[in-house]
């Protein structure tokens, strides 16, 4: 088993709002830092066989939704997958807006929450 297989899968919203892009930015960074393996939620929702199979592989899954529409969670549910951890960024006092980006303080705050939660779940070093 490779190290990548041991990493949790991470799926994020990547819609057009500030918080959607914040969710995506966090997922991309965790992937690039080899703290999680990012996979394609559009492919899961769209029924792409290889991506559905990966989602159903009984790995830990971190799902990050930008808003209460919970598109990531719903795409996983369509394929019978329940995420190990689910984050909806509007639950953290972030307002969905268009045409702007979230600030770096919000980025660091939400990323820290997700990493801290994963440490508690795993009982080990940060992702």
pLDDT bin (cut points 50, 70, 90) of residue 1 is very low
This prediction has a pTM of: 0.90
Specify if 59 maps to a domain: yes
Q: Which residues of 73-84 are buried (b: 16+ CB within 10 A; e: fewer)?
A: bebbeeeebebe
Q: Tell me how far CA of residue 127 lies from CA of 72, 83, 89, 110, in angstroms.
A: 21, 16, 20, 15
Q: Tens of pLDDT along 54-109? A: 999 999 999 999 999 999 999 999 999 999 999 999 999 999 999 999 999 999 99
pLDDT of 25 higher than 80: yes
The count of other CB atoms within 10 Å of the CB of residue 11 is 31
Specify if 14 maps to a domain: yes
Specify if 63 maps to a domain: yes
**Beta-sheet pairing, 85-88 with 61-65:** parallel
Specify if 36 maps to a domain: yes
Number of domains the chain is built from:
1
Q: How far apart are CA 83 and CA 76, in angstroms?
A: 8
Q: How far apart are CA 109 and CA 86, in angstroms?
A: 16
Q: Tens of pLDDT along 29-42? A: 999 999 999 999 99
Domain that holds residue 64: 7-114
Specify if 33 maps to a domain: yes
Structure tokens at 28: 């991309």
């Amino acid at each position: 088993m490779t190290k990548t297989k041991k990493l949790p899968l991470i799926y994020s919203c990547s819609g057009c709002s500030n918080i959607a892009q914040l969710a995506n930015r966090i997922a991309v960074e965790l992937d690039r830092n080899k703290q999680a393996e990012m996979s394609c939620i559009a492919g899961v929702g769209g029924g792409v066989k290889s991506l559905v199979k990966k989602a159903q592989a009984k790995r830990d899954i971190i799902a990050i939704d930008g808003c209460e529409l919970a598109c990531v969670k719903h795409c996983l549910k369509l394929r019978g997958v329940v995420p190990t951890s689910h984050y909806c960024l509007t639950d953290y006092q972030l307002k969905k807006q268009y045409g702007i980006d979230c600030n770096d303080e919000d980025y660091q705050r939400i990323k820290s929450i997700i990493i801290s939660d994963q440490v508690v779940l795993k009982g080990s070093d940060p992702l």
